[in-house]
Amino acid sequence: MLSIIVAIANNNVIGKDNKLIWHLPEDLKRFKRLTTGHTIIMGKNTFKSLGRVLPNRKHVVLCNDAILDIEDENVEVLSDISLLDKYIKSEEENFIIGGASIYKLLMPYAEKMYITKINKDFEGDAFFPEISEKEWQVVSKEPGLKDEQNPYDYEYVNYIRK
């Protein structure tokens, strides 16, 4: 099965200039906790923005560029999305980690969403698609820890497909 994990600003912005805009170490810790040991699926830009292969996770990178030169046993490069079928059908939870184009492409196949909603507008150039209330149901909401290192009002909102 596929689950989406994403942090979204109030105005649906998720990034700018191929970077995250905010710094929320608590959210990054949660990302690590939820995704460790699982497969993470992403677009080429998001893979580049990570800057490294994240430990203890298999990376599936969608890319049309056959010459994307990555030699790492934990990275699989796919140019054909039909090859994601095994991840969609598997019993295991596989995480879609972005970016904008991949959320849009794979949202129809996701069963769950782990969304960090930041209660602030940001200027950006990458956006999360609209969440349809007809298709998605909120199953939990939990406020995020706000402190000097995490200086925003934010909450963790989990959804399942209706």
**Residue 121 to residue 85: CA distance in whole angstroms:** 35
Q: Residue 80 or 91: which CB sits closer to ligand NAP?
A: 80
Among 56, 79, 90, 149, binds ligand NAP (CB under 6 A): 79
Residue 113 backbone phi and psi in degrees, to 5? -135, 130
Q: Residue 45 or 158: which CB sits closer to ligand NAP?
A: 45
Residue 76 structure tokens: 């699989």
**Binding of ligand NAP by 64 (CB under 6 A):** yes
Residues 6+ apart with CB under 8 A from 158: 112, 113, 114, 115, 138, 139, 140, 141
**Binding of ligand NAP by 6 (CB under 6 A):** yes
Q: Residue 107 or 134: which CB sits closer to ligand NAP?
A: 107
Q: How far is the CB of 71 from ligand NAP (least distance, A)?
A: 17
Pattern 10-49, binding to ligand NAP, x per CB under 6 A? ----xxx-xxx---------------------xxxxx--x
Indicate the helix (H) or strand (E) that contains 100: helix 100-106
